Amino acid sequence: MYPSSCDTFVALPPSTEGQRIIFGKNSDRPCDEVQEVVYFPSRDYGAEEKVECTYIEIEQVAHTYAVVLSKPAWLWGAEMGANEHQVCIGNEAVWGRESADGDEALLGMDLVRLGLERADTAEKAVDVITELLGKYGQGGSCMEDECGFTYHNSFLISDRKEAWLLETSGKHWAAERVEGGYRNISNQYGITTKIDKEHPEMREYAQSKGWWDGKSEFNFATVYSFTTTARIEASGSRYCEGKKLLEKSNGHITAETMMDILRDKDSGINMEGMFMTTGSMVSVIPTNPDLPGVHYFTATPDPERSVFKPFIFVKYAKELKETTSPSYGPDDPVKKKPRFRSKPDRKHGLFVKHEVVAAIIDTYKDRGQKIIENMRQLEKAKMTEMEKFLSYGIEEPDFLVNLFSSSIQEETATYNKS
């Protein structure tokens, strides 16, 4: 399958307005795949406990952090998400010289969730992911299909003070620290000569394969991918378009800026077709640790005709029932071998309602335009409301335990009104 899915962005001061970090991602997946948004509170575990990921079982840690995740409903991991310490992670499919075909292991999406559950900083997330990669490897079909769609993974990870770009090829990897400005990734290797952490045998392995002569300056993207850095920069791809859109607002990047970028169809960032944008996320993280982060998720396809709804980590945050898909337990066709012999209905409540509205928008131009206007008004009102918390903090956390769910109720009310 042609590598054309997902775009992840991060902007840090001085590229952003105020002392805030803005993180964003479009998850581009098969058009018939449902993406759910789920919340899991922090939890303690016993010494011998295991965790069952999408394909394999691994050792559990003593404590996992609270996480909010946007994830394909059929698997354990996540495309993107955040944790209670305001660490945000999004992953991308990448292809290179090393074959991505292999036995079932951890998916890149499993590593996103594991990084969020186990790391309280972006740098620690790099360490968690690379340690698990070394121990268990990455592999297995990344689609709910017998076609065996596989890839390596890159990750954009941020916290309150910095971001990290982590790129993998099998068990080998390189990581680059981003301390200011902006960065975006789009299905291609982007780490060149600035490498701040790396697999201890990464260079030796490349040399043994004949990909690097051992003398010239080591460039990860050139050595491990099919394309040279110059070709990546000149490709006119979504990566270049995304970079231009960030540059256009450099110094003034806000959550609204990021939402506009994720909605951009001309650039291909808001993808349409057999692979489309099935879920979107924008996070606003103040550098001040006394202020909360706000994490906006659509939980529905196509951000152009979706509402970004806010989630804030508070002590008694409730389960997100409206965007949680049906569970089939051990009877799920994903759990049975041979896998993917059938596809159960995974549509959650909001997805079903949004599907009807999306059809109306497509069919009736004037009515559709009115629905989108109502969506934007609701979104703007929610963002104005969130600005108080981002600027002054939270006085009554109990009022926010149902924030995401109540926003969904307001969204569905706009559907009914239209």
Distance CA 47, CA 54 (A): 22
Distance CA 155, CA 41 (A): 23
Distance CA 28, CA 269 (A): 9
The DSSP code sequence of 82-105 is: EETT--EEEEEEE--SS----SS-
**Catalytic one of 6, 53, 88, 142:** 6
Distance CA 300, CA 284 (A): 20
- Tokens standing for residue 406: 């109540």
Question: Cβ distance 111 to 132 under 8 Å?
Answer: yes
Question: Cβ distance 300 to 350 under 8 Å?
Answer: yes
Question: Cβ distance 224 to 211 under 8 Å?
Answer: yes
Tracing tokens 């590598």 back to the chain, one arrives at 3
Q: Is 31 a catalytic residue?
A: no
Rg (CA), the chain: 20
- Catalytic site residues? 6
